[in-house]
Structures are given as structure tokens and as C-alpha cells.
Structure 1
Amino acid sequence: MNTIQLISDSFIENKCNFKQLIERLKEGFASTTIQVPMRHHHDYPNPPEDKDSTLLLMPAFNPGVDAGVKIVTVSPNNGKYNLPAIQGTYIYLDAHKGNIKAILDAKSLTTKRTASTSALASSFLSREDSSSLLMIGTGALAKNLIQAHASVRPITKVYVWGRTLEKAQAICDALSNATYSCTAITNIEDKISEVDIISCATLSPTPLVFGKWLKEGQHLDLVGAYKKDTREADDEAVLRSSVFLDTYQGGLKESGDILIPLNTGIITKEDIKADLFELCNGSKKGRTSETEITYFKSVGHALEDLVAASYFYNEFISNK
């Protein structure tokens, strides 16, 4: 019987090569074989808390090759137990024989694949000479987004904004050995009109990025605001930009950054230029001019999890 490999967050953190993972994701989005059904969302009672919890199941299949499912629970009151509200595991399978090949901790898997997906989009949408980045947000994704973007563009200057200067400085301290400078800032408006790329990964319910601040040629990468009634960028930012999604399947249904302007008539579905499937298979183009402002909305997709699980599994086996 085949041994089930246990792949930890620490292995994923230490063995991630963003350039390689981004290339694998590009191949995955260009593929016509990977199948991804809609994710399962189940709310269930949690009597001890008198509040529902949620179970999310996110499957993907590459027939005859591999398959996987991410299992995530959301328990909103977990803070009082000193536990994260969101916890998860990824089960990676042999799609031919059905056996489990590996179990991966989902936290680092998700942050690495999410950051790499944003950088993949940037490779189509940001200017090739983009050298400066503003990171809005200081959560688990912030450091990864900076590193991933810097792997596809010649970044020399990074600015970080968070709810506290201390948290922003902590991100910069964690990147003190990077090839680019990293500076914590207290005001988004001070730098947002200067940088080439703006990456935003927050839980803010209301916009932090305003279109009046944007300049020609910028690329806007929106990763937070995963609920239908929350958003990170305002209507003017949408109107001034060419809009792209990771997938139509999720992007048109899950995030207020797209849903709110769609529902209010600010934009129509026809205004959305392309998703990553179309960019990666070459059927549609990304940036078309040096002055264009590009706007990418990521909500996540199970294809990304499967590709990342395959990448880290192969790294794990080769390092044994």
C-alpha cells in the first residue's frame, strides 16, 4: 500500500519557488483537461456557540492524472479559543487509482497559490518595467504577494500600509534580506499615485483604493473583499480601468469589487476583458498600452489548489 505523505506548512514555506509555481499555474490555466466543479458551501449549526459554522469543499480533477479537494471550516468565534477562524486541509489524490498521495496543510498552500496567481496575472497586465509596488494589508498574504510580484517584475521599491505602522514594519522586517527596499507607510495616499503596481489584500468592507488617486499605466491587484457586500476599490477605480478576473465562475458571483458595480450598472459583464483561462491560452490579450490602467480581481479557484498541491508534492518527493 502506498504511503500517504504528510506535507507541512513549514515545508511549503521553505520550498516554494515562486517563478516555478507561477509557470505551473500558467500551464494549468492554459490546460483543457482540468475540471473544476462549483465549490460546496454548507452552513451547519454549532450549538455551543449559538452561531452557525461553515464547511467548504473545493474539488478539482485532472482525469487520469491527479485530483484533490480542499476542506475548509469557518468557525467565527474561534478567537476566544486562540484558534484561527478559518482552518483547512488539502487531500491530494491519484486520479487513476483513487489512492491518497498526500495530505497538505492548507494555510501555506493557499497563500502561496493565491500570491502566485496574482503574479501570474501581473505578468500579463502590469507594465514589463514595473519597479515599484504598494502593498495594502499586513495579513498572511502580504509578504507572499510582495515576493511573488517581485519574481515577475523588476521591483526595486516596496511600500507597505497596514492598520498599524507596527504591522507594516513587521512585514518590511521579514523582507530585510530582499533585493528591493521595503518601507512602512502611514498613509495610502502618500504613495499610491507614485507606484507601478498596487496589491491589496484586506478584510476592509469599504474601499481603500480610490480611482482619483490612480495614474496612467498602473496595475491594480485586488485579493481581499471576498464577500458580496465588501470591496477594496471604488467605482471610479473600476471605471478608469480595464477589468480582468481570475475566473468568471467565481469572480462574477463572490466579490463586491465586481458584484457591486455590476448590480448598480457602473459596468456590465461585457466590460470585463478576460479571465486567466483566456489570458493563459492566448485567446484574449492583457495590457494593450503603456497608459492603460489594469484591474485584476482574484477570488480563488480550486484549479490553483490542485496545481499547487502537485507542485509541492513533487518537491517533497524529490527532497526525500
Structure 2
Amino acid sequence: MKREDVLMEALPYIRQFHGKTIIIKLGGHAMVDPKIMNTVIEDAVLLHYIGMKVVLVHGGGPEITEKMKAMGKEPKFVAGLRVTDLDTLEIAMMVLAGKISNTIVSLIAQNGARGIGISGNDGNLVIARKMDAQKVTIEDREEEVDLGYVGEIQRVNPGLLRTLLDSGYIPVVSPLAIDEQGNNLNINADTMAGELAVALDAGKLVSLTDVDGVMDKTRTNIYYRLTLAEVESMIADGTIQGGMIPKLAACIYASRNGVERCHIINGNAPHNLILELFTDQGVGTMIRG
């Protein structure tokens, strides 16, 4: 395809989403590889300058684990869920709202835009409650496990984000929140992204991960287009497993509450974000109601 054809293929999508909000959840290898992260931020800045209101939400599980071990604290997981005691929460806050957020804001500046790092507890952006004990299966036994300072979102107050977006900033949101008493809680980043997408009436929610999209049971074929009913069926029959489930749960929630399109893409390939949003074929999985 000629270069001018590529630009013309992008035009209808640029026109369609000009002025609309896009939530981009950063995850996977991009979070630990500076070169990959920079290409993602380049794409985000491009979206910003063609008129989209961009909000970045980041996770940081591997970095939290690394910092815990460096500080002599062994991470504890139960059935894949991190147990977050007070020490772990403090480390998570340091890594998420400190190191990772500042790194992303710096990359935004290097690429010519203005980023600003906030967390869910700034301006009462996200109010949560401590998550109830979770039922998990351990050695064929079902047990209830208290995950500690892990929250589930009760409500989002998007005024601060709207003010920042209207002022030309790219907000970088760390997945932290407070409860009604002002206590800090750690939040799943996929869940945070879905909730913010709904609260901001976003046109798109995009989740960057380490795989090419939602795949079949053989893990060789990508589903480029899926409906909510198809996603729910694939979760029920075991086609979708593991870490893909919370990403798709966020997509299901967002789609059912007004977000037009959700996307799961591989963030490791340069400029996949642009290719997914501005080409007819796309490169990952697009989900719609």
C-alpha cells in the first residue's frame, strides 16, 4: 500500500474519534522495556495531537515484586492473587505512583506533550472498599483468603481528569484508591481502566498486553472481531483463561456501560496502537456490544 493510501485509510477513523476520550491500559513487557514503552508513548502523543483525549492507566506487578525482593520481603500469592499487607501496600504506592508514573510522564515530555501523574486517591478520583475475602482453591480445597489492602471500586469522581484533559494534559493514572475513611487501597489496573472509561464516556478502551489478542484454544489464531456474547461464551468454555480474564472483564463492563469499542492488542510491536485504531484490518482483537 502506498504511503498516501495509508493516510487516507486512517482519515475516517481520525475524524470519527476526534475530540473523544481514549483510555489506554499499559501492561505487559512494555512496562519493563524502555524502548517498547517509548514507542507506545509516541503513539499516545500522536493520538493527543490529532485531537483525542488520552488517559494512560498503568499496572506494575513485576516491578512491585522486584522491589519487594530487593527490600528483603518475599511476595505472597494465593491462587495467583497477591496478598497485600501494609508493607506491600507501601511498596506498591512507592513503585506505582513514584517510579513508574514519573517515568511515563518523562517520556511524554520527551515526545513533546504534557503528562501529569495522578493516582486514584488524588482529588477523591476513585473511592473503593476493601475487597471481601476471596474463595480460592488450594490443593483441591476451597478456602477463603483475605487479600489485605486490595480494593474494589465503588465510584469514580471524574472531575479532576476532565479538568486535566480540557487543559491539554495527558493524565497518567496509578491504580490506587482510597476508602470512605481515607485509607489507601491497591486496585487491579484492568478494573481501574474499565471504570475510568465508563466514568469519562470514553469512545475506546485499549489494553496493551504481551499477546496478539484473544486467541482460540490452540493459541495460534487471533479473533479480530468479537461480540460480548462471544467473549462470555469463550470464558465459560475455558477458551479464555488466566490473565486475559480480568482484561476482558473490564471490556465487558465498559461495553455494557456505553464505551463504543474495546481493544486487546500486543504492545510489544512498534506502533501497534496506531495500526489497531487507524486501519481497517487492525492488529488485535476489537470487542463491541
State the TM-score, normalized to the length of structure 1: 0.29
Q: Which has the higher helix share?
A: 2
Q: Which has the higher contact order (CA 8 A, sep 6+)?
A: 2
State the TM-score, normalized to the length of structure 2: 0.32
